[in-house]
Amino acid sequence: MLTALSISNYALIKALQTDFSDGLSIITGETGAGKSILLGALGLVMGNRADLNSLKDSDKKCIIEATFSIKEYGLKDFFEQEDIDYEEETILRREILPSGKSRAFVNDTPVTLSVLNVLKSQLIDVHSQHKTAQLSENKYQFQIVDALANNETDLLLFKATLKTYKSLQKELEVLLQSQEAAKQEYAYNSHLFAELEEANFKEGEQQELEENLDKLNNIEVIKLALAESVALATNEQVGIQDSLNTLSHTLQKISSFSSEYENYLTRVESLKIELDDVVFELEKANENVDFDPNEIEEFNDRLQLLYSLQKKHMVSSIEELLAVKDRLDEKIGQVENSTEILEEKKKDILKIEEKLSKIASKLHASRKKAIPVLTKQLEEVLSKLGMSNASFKIQLEQTKEYFSNGFDQLNFLFAANKGTNYDELKKVASGGELSRIMLGVKLILSKYSKLPTIIFDEIDTGVSGDVSNKIADVMAEMGNFMQVITITHLPQIAAKGNNHYKVYKKDVAGVTNTFLKQLSAEERIKEVAEILGGKDLTASALEHAKELLKA
């Protein structure tokens, strides 16, 4: 609930500080005194857009602070999510700078206006006559029924399950679309895969093919070079082998004289062994070099196939070509296995559908049970509000359609008088009747759920004296369950409050200022008397005021 409000440099308010308590609080004041300014300031601190023109002194900043007791509202998770310090007595602050910029804080933590707007929906409900249009909105009608049915937990579960269901449905749709596209490409992909499968290229094969072809194309040069190499090594007169033999014999003569000479001999012997091995390999290679036109053609054909497939798939290596083959295999497999995948997805969806149906049936049953209770209570409270012949017919039908809150369709029908046909509220209820119906709804809801602080902004406009007494009684009853703040011009309602505040204007140093003060018992008598009979207080007006305040 709202426990304190502080306003400085806003509109006609230079500085204002007041405390609020639970129960029913009344705010009165002459037309133009500044009651709407209070609501405007409260709207700003709750996240409404700022206007630089609202600064009383354009050279100073405007500061509005509202303190709320929030321990009953289950907001800890939200505060943690937004990284805001949680305090049972939470302070919301809004600053409007002379530059036009504005800043918002919750417990001294800077926040965005969207955070304030979320808190607004949890903490304050400013209700004026035009808001009675909510009664005709199906969403609001469900909120009324679900509050009496205590459906909060099941509604959260249904919404979470519905989110999962829609996600699975989307996945199925994507699968079906991709399957259709894959089917259209299946034959072509299969052809491409078969080509690569038949070609059966292996990693490193391209380099091997190109080297073999290069050797075959230069066979004469290779054979001549090998023959010359063997001759250079083995020629009996000038060959390297003969020279090394001579060198070895020479070193043997002196090897026994020194380890140094013996080492030279050892190294030469190693050269001889290595050379002999090389000569053997050269002779073998020379014998194996042979020209085969068919082999050249075979290598050429293989390379041309490789180059053709690389060009076709826009790659430059066998490794990339094999990766293309793997991707094609995967696409083909997706189509071939798609039926199984789709069936699994459909089974998952069916399980969720069964869960949704079970929750929706539970919601339907609890709503069906709550509707007679709601109808009875509504008619009883409307009777208190001077609508003794008013009656409701609330229709509930379970469908197979998925709505955000179940499978139900809900229809509020209303008849203001006996013998008249039931029809939609917006068609048959007058503005005054809608205001009283809304008041009755708020009273009922206050008994079943923790409603935010409600501020009635002259909802009693145009109401007669007898009905105003009954509205006052209902507001007082609401005050037993929640904090109610009512801005009114009616003495009957003003007299019912647990606390009474007066908004008034006063000139200070030639400047008009708006003030708000909590009235004492004596001041309340005078204020109610003024509402009854005007500024010129008469004895009868004062006596009437005392009687109203005692009632």
Q: What's the CA gap between 203 and 321, in Å, rounded?
A: 10
User: What's this model's pTM, rounded to 2 decimal places?
Assistant: 0.67
- Please, what sign has the CA dihedral across residues 302, 307, 313, 316? positive
419 lies in a domain?
yes
220 lies in a domain?
yes
User: Scanning the structure block, which residue is given the tokens 């696409």?
Assistant: 331
At 62, phi and psi to the nearest 5? -95, 135
321 lies in a domain?
yes
Q: What's the CA gap between 218 and 228, in Å, rounded?
A: 16
Q: Which pLDDT belongs to residue 19?
A: 94
Three-state secondary structure string covering 19-63: ECCCCEEEEECCCCCCHHHHHHHHHHHCCCCCCHHHECCCCCCEE
Contact 224, 273 (CB under 8 A): no
367 lies in a domain?
no
Last residue of one domain, picked from the residues 338, 355, 373: 338
Note the pLDDT tens digit of each residue in 129-165: 677 888 889 999 999 999 999 999 999 999 999 999 9
Q: Are residues 327 and 455 in the same domain?
A: no
Note the pLDDT tens digit of each residue in 206-230: 888 877 777 777 777 777 887 778 7
Q: Are residues 141 and 211 in the same domain?
A: no
Comparing 3 with 468, the larger pLDDT belongs to 3
Q: 371-388 b/e with 16+ CB inside 10 Å = b?
A: beebeebbbebbebbbbe
Pairing of strands 2-10, 62-69: antiparallel
Q: Are residues 97 and 23 in the same domain?
A: yes
Q: Are residues 512 and 531 in the same domain?
A: no
348 lies in a domain?
no
CATH number of the domain that 489 lies in? 3.40.50.300
At 510, phi and psi to the nearest 5? 80, 10
Query: Please, which residues have CB within 8 angstroms of residue 515's CB and are 6 or more apart in sequence?
Result: 13, 16, 503, 504, 505, 506
Q: Are residues 401 and 546 in the same domain?
A: no
Q: Which pLDDT belongs to residue 158?
A: 96
Query: Please, which residues have CB within 8 angstroms of residue 403's CB and are 6 or more apart in sequence?
Result: none
158 lies in a domain?
no
User: Token digits for 442?
Assistant: 């708020």
Note the pLDDT tens digit of each residue in 51-87: 777 888 888 999 999 999 999 888 999 999 999 999 9
3-state DSSP assignment of residue 127: strand
Note the pLDDT tens digit of each residue in 275-333: 889 888 888 877 777 666 677 778 788 888 888 888 988 988 888 988 999 888 887 77
Q: What is the DSSP string of 359-396?
A: HHHHHHHHHHHHHHHHHHHHHHHHHHTT-TT-EEEEEE
**Nearest Cα to Cα of residue 549 among 251, 537, 531, 504:** 531
Q: Are residues 529 and 506 in the same domain?
A: no
3-state DSSP assignment of residue 96: strand
Comparing 51 with 6, the larger pLDDT belongs to 6
Q: Are residues 316 and 404 in the same domain?
A: no
356 lies in a domain?
no
Q: Are residues 211 and 277 in the same domain?
A: yes
- What is the average per-residue pLDDT within 368-373? 96
Last residue of one domain, picked from the residues 338, 353, 376: 338
Q: Are residues 528 and 499 in the same domain?
A: no
Comparing 365 with 276, the larger pLDDT belongs to 365
Which residue range(s) make up the domain with 392?
2-149+385-519
- Across all residues in the chain, what is the average pLDDT? 88
DSSP-H helix ranges across 200-258 = 205-217, 219-234, 240-252
Q: Are residues 182 and 301 in the same domain?
A: yes
Query: Please, which residues have CB within 8 angstroms of residue 498's CB and are 6 or more apart in sequence?
Result: 21, 22, 23, 24, 25, 479
User: How many Cβ atoms sit within 10 Å of the Cβ of residue 343?
Assistant: 10
372 lies in a domain?
no
- In this structure, the chain runs to a length of 551
Last residue of one domain, picked from the residues 314, 338, 362: 338
Q: Are residues 440 and 490 in the same domain?
A: yes
Q: What's the CA gap between 145 and 377, in Å, rounded?
A: 12
Provide the strand spans (E) within 388-492: 391-403, 406-415, 423-424, 453-457, 484-487
Q: Are residues 448 and 533 in the same domain?
A: no
Query: Please, which residues have CB within 8 angstroms of residue 172's CB and are 6 or more apart in sequence?
Result: 342, 345, 346, 349
Contact 2, 454 (CB under 8 A): no
Q: How many domains does the chain have?
A: 3
